[in-house]
A and B are shown apart, each in its own frame.
Chain A
Amino acid sequence: MKKYWSFFKIRFVNSLQYRAAALSGMATQFFWGFMYILMYSAFYRTNPAQFPMEFSDLSTYIWLQQALLALFMAWYFDMDLLNSISNGNIAYELARPLEIYSMWFVKETANRTSRAALRCGGILLVAFFIPQPYGLNLPESPLSFLLFLVSTFFGTLVMVSLSMIVSGITFYTTSSQGVRIAASTIGDFFGGGIVALPFWPDGLRQVASLLPFAATQNVPLRVYSGNLAGMDAAWSIFLQIFWFIVLCVSGRALFRRALKRVVVQGG
Chain B
Amino acid sequence: MKLYFHYFSIHLRSAMQYKTSFFLTLAGRFVTSFTSFLGIYILFDRFHSVDGFGMEEILICFSTILMGYSLAEWFFRGFDRFQGIISNGEFDRIMVRPKNELFQVMASQMEFTRLGRTLQAVFVLAYAVWASGIVWTPDKIFTLVFMIVGAFVLYCGLFMINACLCFFTIQGLEVMNIFTDGTKEFGSYPMSIYGKHLLRFFTYILPIACVQYYPLLYIIGRSSNLFYMFLPAAGILFLIPSYILWRIGVRHYKSTGS
Contacts and interface: CB of A to CB of B under 8 A. Distances in A.
Contacts of A180: 28
A178 B32 CA distance: 11
Interface in B1-58: 18, 20-21, 23-29, 31-32, 35-36, 38-39, 42-43, 45-52
A179 B24 contact: yes
B39 A24 contact: no
Interface string A70-104: 00000000000000000000000000000000000
A46 B21 contact: no
Contacts of A45: 51
Given A42-B50, A186-B35, A177 B28 contact: yes
Given A31-B178, A47-B48, A185 B21 contact: no
Interface in A41-55: 42-43, 45-47, 50, 52
B175 interface: yes
A181 B28 contact: yes
What is the interface residue range for chain A against chain B?
20 to 34
Most buried by A among B25, B36, B49, B51: B25
Given A25-B174, A47-B49, A177-B24, A185 B31 contact: yes
Interface string B173-216: 11101100010011001000111001000000000000000000
B174 A28 contact: yes
Interface in A12-69: 21, 24-25, 27-28, 31-32, 35, 38-39, 42-43, 45-47, 50, 52
A194 B182 contact: no
A47 B48 CA distance: 9
A43 B92 CA distance: 51
A133 B206 CA distance: 28
Contacts of B194: 35, 38-39, 42
A182 interface: yes
A187 B27 CA distance: 16
Nearest to A188: B35
A177 B185 CA distance: 22
Contacts of A27: 175, 178
A163 B58 CA distance: 34
Contacts of B27: 178, 182
A43 B174 CA distance: 29
A43 B47 contact: yes
Contacts of B29: 181
A4 interface: no
B196 to A, nearest CB: 11
Nearest to B27: A178
Contact of B47 (A35, A47, A200): A47
Contact of B26 (A24, A39, A178, A185): A178
Contact of B46 (A24, A35, A201): A201
Interface residues of B, number: 39
A158 B229 CA distance: 50
Contacts of A10: none
Contacts of B177: 28
A199 interface: yes
A177 B25 contact: yes
Nearest to A21: B174
Contacts of B182: 28, 31-32, 35
A253 interface: no
B42 A39 contact: no
B31 A38 contact: no
A46 B174 CA distance: 33
B174 A195 contact: no
B164 to A, nearest CB: 17
A185 B193 contact: no
Contacts of A265: none
A200 B189 CA distance: 19
B79 to A, nearest CB: 18
A24 B189 CA distance: 25
Nearest to A178: B24
B195 A38 contact: yes
Given A178-B23, A185-B35, 7 more contacts: A24-B174, A28-B177, A32-B182, A175-B24, A181-B28, A195-B42, A199-B46
9 contacts: A28-B177, A35-B185, A35-B186, A35-B194, A178-B23, A182-B24, A182-B32, A185-B32, A194-B36
